[in-house]
Amino acid sequence: MTYDYDLFVIGAGSGGLAASKRAASYGAKVAIAENDLVGGTCVIRGCVPKKLMVYASHFPALFTDAAGYGWEVGEYNLDWEKFITSIDNEVRRLSKLHISFLEKAGVQLISGRGTLIDAHTVEVDGKKYTTEKILIAVGGRPVKPDLPGMEHAITSNEIFHLQEKPQHIAIIGAGYIGTEFACIMRGLGCQVTQIIRKDLILKGFDDDIRNNIQEGMIQHGINIVKNAVVQSLEKTPEGIKINFADENQPAITADVFLAATGRTPNVDGLGLENAGVEMVSSQLEGPGYKSTQAIAVNESSQTSQSNIYAVGDVTDRINLTPVAIGEGRAFADSEFGNNRRLFSHETIATAVFSTPEAATVGLTEAEAKKKYGEDNVTIFRTRFRPMYYTLTGKDEKTMMKLVVETATEKILGAHMVGENAAEIIQGVAIAVKMGATKADFDATVGIHPSAAEEFVTMR
């Protein structure tokens, strides 16, 4: 049978863009459908605009630190309208750039939401396209808990478009999104309250990362309300009133309430049932949430329908931009490049752009001890004040940690909290991925003076 396309991609985010360009480079006829700006969550309302906000949030601390080095810095003020407009302009510039990349690669961009009619047919705005293979890469979307008054809350989508800087923002959520925005908004001069259901933020990260970030956040003036369950929101003349399930927990009123407690695969309206694509449950934790669904795939990103594949957040595996890109390229290489390969989901480095920043690769201490046995794991840890702060008077700390298998000395995990953690762990991740040992680290000469040298001098 002759098809209109060799590959039809639904979703022009990180995974879809990477896969479509790679497939086209092998000579495949490729189309990609997108009903939003091209670039996906990362470019439009995720990694890129968030990191720009992170940069902006650091300037007040730099201004005050300068005094310790003899600089006299005058009054400073954030022009909020210029700030958010500049970010939006950069997002739109990058989206146009990605469109040009598609054009250069020979990929046809079709505007609109793609819907599966059957296993080989996609409909976009009433027009049907036939295709040999389909790749679903529509990502995920933030969801709010189903609680009274939650219509007054915003999500991580809307926070980039606030017309005014809040005086007080309340955030529900202990994950990396809630934690990062708590730190961003505090750095930008807002009063911040972060509401979490347990004692610690960042479930799933190493406990030393969790404790050190939370301690730093509190030190920087963020009010963390622990062991609290939001029951409802109310719109009042003073702002948004947050009521708690525990009557002994006083209500909080804030200008803006950010719900950052979950994201769900963006599968609604895809017509997956028309093509026989199976789903798998994807559970969101917490009051007001119900289980959602992700697309079920095998290790090759293949769905239950042999010619249909899915990559990225829509599969709810490891929801990171570089992972979606890696999955997309592995798919294209395998199906169109005569280079069948699997993308490894093991030993993936990641970062939390909080203040203080954190980054990690490999196993946490708890995971390593569970896998290898408590007596078979050795922990190396250091905590110190970086040289930068010796003249500022601030009591900022950096934490570094290596998780090592005792018998082989293999590095199982590396974790860091402190400035430039992501930049440092990126390099360390190469060594961990290659199977480096503690002896390899010890034999490496450190760069002095630097914080990074601590990773090769820990004893």
The set of catalytic residues is: 448
User: How much is the CA Rg of the chain, to the nearest whole Å?
Assistant: 24
Residue 399, token pair as written in the block:
């934490």
Strands, E, within 119-261: which ranges?
121-124, 127-136, 140-142, 168-172, 191-195, 223-225, 230-236, 239-244, 252-254, 256-259
Question: Vertex 41, ends 38 and 42: CA angle to 5°?
Answer: 95
| Sheet containing 223-225: order of strands | 223-225, 191-195, 168-172, 256-259
Backbone angles phi, psi at 312, to 5 degrees: 85, -160
Alpha helices in 337-406 (DSSP H): 365-372
Rounded to the nearest 10°, the torsion over CA 168, 173, 175, 178 is: -20
Rounded to the nearest 10°, the torsion over CA 110, 113, 116, 122 is: -20
* Inter-helix orientation angle 207-219/365-372, to 10°: 170
Strands 5-10 and 398-405: unpaired
Rounded Cα distance between 301 and 333, Å, is 12
CB contact at 8 A, 250 and 223: no
Residue 388, token pair as written in the block:
């930068």
Q: Tell me 444's DSSP state.
A: S
- What is the largest distance, in Å, between two alpha-carbon atoms of the chain? 75
Rounded Cα distance between 131 and 309, Å, is 13
Beta bridge pairs of residue 168: 191
Q: Any idea which residue has 């203040």 for tokens? A: 355
Rounded Cα distance between 49 and 103, Å, is 24
* Inter-helix orientation angle 176-187/47-68, to 10°: 40
Q: Which of 233, 323, 301, 262 shows the shortest CA–CA distance to 14?
A: 323
